[in-house]
Amino acid sequence: MQNDDDGLAGRIGRKVNELDIDFSRFTVAGWLVVLATVGNGVLAGWLAFANVRGRNAMDNGPALLIGLSGLVAAILTFFGLRWILGRLGVRIVRGID
């Protein structure tokens, strides 16, 4: 019998915990980037869902397209906003004092 910690979900959980993200260090601009990233990812996934033919069956093809659309949109939004704000000199996280 396989231990749940050795499965894919357990491995992903350990990797996420290793990131050690301190959410209290986000600035207002950082939180706006987070909200825009999540919102744009959800919107892209929803738009893909609305435009996929035969989406009621939800076999692997349409589901993968919907998930990847949201993921790609979120990644592009995050890196794009981080680059723009960096060029403007706006920090998205506070420095360690």
Encode burial over 10-48: b for 16+ CB neighbours within 10 A, e otherwise.
eeeeeeeeeeeeeeeebeebbeebeeebeebbeebbeeb
3-state secondary structure of 70: helix
Report the percent of the chain where pLDDT is more than 70.
Answer: 74
Q: What is the pTM of this model?
A: 0.68
Q: Which residues pair with 93 in a beta bridge?
A: 26
Tell me, what's the pLDDT at 36?
A: 95
Whether residue 54 is predicted with pLDDT greater than 50 in this model: the reply is: yes
- Tens of pLDDT, residues 20-38: 667 788 899 999 999 999 9
Tell me, what's the pLDDT at 39?
A: 95
Tell me, what's the pLDDT at 57?
A: 53
